[in-house]
A and B are shown apart, each in its own frame.
Chain A
Amino acid sequence: MQPSQNTISLERKRFLAGHLELACKELELPESKWEAAKTAYESVGAWLNECPVLRPYKPAIRPQGSSAHGTTTKPVGRDEFDIDLVCHLLVADDRLPHDGVKKIVGDRLKAYSRGPKCSEYKRCWRLDYAKDSQMHLDITPAVNHTTSRFKSLAVPDRDAKRWQESNPFGYTELFCKIAALTPRLAQQVIELSAKAARAGVQPLPDQTSIKGYLRRTVQLLKRHRSLYFEKHPELAPISIILSTLAKRSYARIVDSQRLYDNEFDIVCDIVRGLADFVSHGPAGWLIKNSTTESENFAEKWNKNPALADAFYRWHRQAVHDFQALADAADTINSYAIFDRIVGQKVASVVRARETTLVNEARAHGALGVTTRGMLTTAAGISVAGNTYYGA
Chain B
Amino acid sequence: MKFPSKKPVRLGIAQQLQFLKMTFPGSEGFLKNHKLFWQMHCHPTPLSRDYRIDLEYGEGTTPKVFVNDPCLADLAKGKEIPHLYQQKPARLCLYLPGNGEWTTDKPFSKTLIPWAAMWLFHFEDWLICGEWHGGGEHPKQPVAH
Contacts and interface: CB of A to CB of B under 8 A. Distances in A.
A is bound by B: yes
Interface of A: 1-2, 8, 11-12, 14-16, 204-206, 328-332, 334-335, 348, 351-352, 355, 358-359, 362, 367-369, 371-375, 381-391
B71 interface: no
Given A355-B125, A390-B143, A328 B117 contact: no
A332 B128 contact: yes
A204 B43 CA distance: 15
Contacts of A14: 46
A381 B43 contact: no
A14 B47 CA distance: 10
B111 A391 contact: no
Given A334-B47, A372-B42, A383-B114, A389 B128 contact: no
Q: Which 3 A-B pairs have the closest CB atoms?
A: A390-B93, A388-B136, A373-B42
Given A374-B46, A374-B117, A384 B83 contact: no
A387 B114 contact: no
Interface of B: 23-26, 40-49, 53, 80, 82-85, 93-97, 99, 101-102, 106, 109-111, 113-119, 121-122, 124-125, 127-129, 132-139, 143
Given A384-B101, A386-B101, A391 B41 contact: no
A206 B40 CA distance: 22
Contacts of B132: 388
A391 B143 contact: yes
Q: Looking at chain B's contact residues, is the secondary structure mostly helix, strand, loop, or mixed?
A: loop
13 contacts: A12-B46, A14-B46, A15-B45, A330-B47, A332-B127, A351-B128, A373-B53, A381-B109, A381-B114, A384-B101, A388-B122, A390-B83, A391-B139
B41 A2 contact: yes
A7 to B, nearest CB: 10
A11 B46 contact: yes
Nearest to B49: A330
B137 A387 contact: yes
Contacts of A359: 133-135
A385 B110 contact: no
B114 A369 contact: yes
Contacts of B40: 373
A2 B133 CA distance: 30
Contact of B113 (A206, A358, A369): A369
Interface-central residue, B114, B124, B129, by most chain A CB under 10 Å = B114
Contacts of B97: 389
Nearest to B86: A390
Interface-central residue, B44, B47, B49, by most chain A CB under 10 Å = B47
B11 to A, nearest CB: 15
A14 B46 CA distance: 9
Contacts of B106: 384
A389 B26 contact: no
Nearest to B97: A389
A388 B128 contact: no
Given A15-B46, A375-B117, A387 B96 contact: yes
A1 B44 contact: no
A372 B24 CA distance: 7
Given A351-B125, A390-B82, A375 B94 contact: no
A206 B46 contact: yes
Given A332-B124, A387-B135, 13 more contacts: A11-B46, A15-B46, A332-B127, A332-B128, A358-B118, A371-B23, A373-B40, A373-B116, A382-B114, A384-B111, A389-B136, A389-B137, A390-B82
A358 B121 CA distance: 9
A148 to B, nearest CB: 50
A367 B45 CA distance: 13
B55 to A, nearest CB: 12
B23 A8 contact: no
A329 B5 CA distance: 52
Contacts of A15: 45-47
Contacts of B53: 373
